[in-house]
Amino acid sequence: MKLILLTGAAVLIGAVAVILVLAAFKPDAFTVQRSLAINASPDRIFPFINDYGKWPEWSPYETKDPQMKRTLSTVTAGRGATYAWEGDSDVGAGNMAIVDSAPPSHVAIKLNVLKPISASNDVTFTLARQGGVTNVTWAMQGKVPYFAKIIHVFFDMDKMVGGDMEAGLAKLKAVAEKG
């Protein structure tokens, strides 16, 4: 019995050591990015991104928890606009603020997630007219402290966030091309 317990403890210690070593080799930062061509002008698309009051029309996070509590600042668009949320385990809790807005080509957002895991990331939306379409790029970058690197051993940020970005861009395309 002691041999089984000692063997089990050694295996557990070995597994933890492997995870810690793998985490040490994870990058110190991450970027997740998706782009989509939308058949609308940047002037038509930009207000949907730059105004938190319009996010329910396209953001993939708005429908994940219908009971989610949302708090928007008095000014909902442009630099200084803020949006806070608190929801179930699918959406967590946090806040975001537009820190830069250059109509109709660029919106930069500071994203602070408080739950389920605390994180502070930078989000950018870039709109570039090319021919008859506008290429919209949604990107998120952030630092990865060692604790988060351990999580990244098991979860891939690109897979976790990329699908939401794709869904959001598809909804944005539908809304922008409608009018």
Where helices occur in 28-145 by DSSP H, the ranges are 42-50
User: Is residue 31 pLDDT above 90, yes or no?
Assistant: no
What tens digit of pLDDT does each residue of 55-67 get?
999 999 888 898 9
Distance CA 52, CA 77 (A): 6
Residue 146 banded pLDDT, cuts 50, 70, 90: low
Comparison of pLDDT for 50 and 27, the residue scoring more: 50
Domains recognised in the chain with CATH numbers: 28-178 (3.30.530.20)
| Most trustworthy range by pLDDT among 73-87, 138-152, 158-172 | 73-87
User: Is residue 135 pLDDT above 90, yes or no?
Assistant: yes
**Ranges 81-85, 86-90, 123-127: which has the least confidence:** 86-90
Distance of CA 96 to the CA centre of its chain: 11
Question: What is the model's pTM?
Answer: 0.84
pLDDT for residue 76: 97
Distance CA 133, CA 127 (A): 10
Distance CA 55, CA 61 (A): 9
For the segment 78-102, the average pLDDT, to the nearest whole number, is 96
pLDDT for residue 58: 96
